Amino acid sequence: MVALQIDDKKIEVAEGSNLLEACLDNGIYIPNLCHLKGMLHPPASCRLCFVEIEGSDHPVCACSTRVVRKMSVRTNTPGVRRLQKTALQLLLSAHDVDCKNCPANRQCALQDMAKLLKVALKTKSLDQLLKETRIDASHPFLDHYPNRCVLCGKCVYVCRRQHKQAGLTFARRGIDTVIAFYDHPQTEQLPCDTCQACVEVCPVAALLPKLEHTEQR
């Protein structure tokens, strides 16, 4: 075990622990979307979990940083908050903010972070860039809502972790990137009708079981 300082709190964790997990496990919240506990190689794609570490000349992502002895970390400096606000505003500019009609309303990671960072859910400073496809209904058991999706990749990760093969993947590039269903014979063998792990892990209700299938269960 090694001691480290997080803001004004001293904690002890195993050396080499994931810094984001160390903070969350000790009641220190850092905004995050793309990380899941136990990830060996976090993607650090949401760019929300920035922290400042004493001795480093620039902020780093907590999810991809390992704990070392006598580390001193600041999670809520003006510089950190500025980066987090910018990242959240960019995510919201590509998000269909229709909270009252969303199943994730009041249980949404974006709502929680917007409240913490004092960011309006409907940003006026950036143009809204929504996808043309509102619902991808090509899967036999799942529907995907691209304009809710924040591209955190959790669904892809849990599917591959549980079944050794992902039925979901990232498709296209740049601002056109979407989560898509694999069109491959082997993916038809995945137990998507009973698994639902991708639905459970999605922070914004971008993946949902088809209504007719839900009614039959």
Cα–Cα dist 169/187, whole Å: 12
pLDDT tens across the length of the chain (217 residues): 999 999 999 999 999 999 999 999 999 999 999 999 989 888 999 999 999 999 999 999 999 999 999 999 999 999 999 999 999 999 999 999 999 999 999 999 999 999 999 999 987 777 888 888 899 999 989 999 999 999 999 999 999 998 887 789 999 988 889 999 987 666 667 788 889 999 999 999 999 999 754 444 4
Please report, for the chain, how many H helices and E strands are present, in that order.
7, 9
What pTM was computed for the model?
0.88
Evaluate whether 17 touches 66 at the Cβ level (below 8 Å): yes
Closest C-alpha among 124, 161, 71, 129 to residue 60? 71
Kindly list the structural domains of the chain, giving each domain's residue range(s) and its CATH number in brackets, ordered by start. 2-77 (3.10.20.740), 142-216 (3.30.70.20)
pLDDT tens for each residue of 31-58: 999 999 989 888 999 999 999 999 999 9
Strands 142-144 and 72-74: unpaired
Closest C-alpha among 71, 59, 88, 40 to residue 204? 88
Evaluate whether 89 touches 80 at the Cβ level (below 8 Å): no
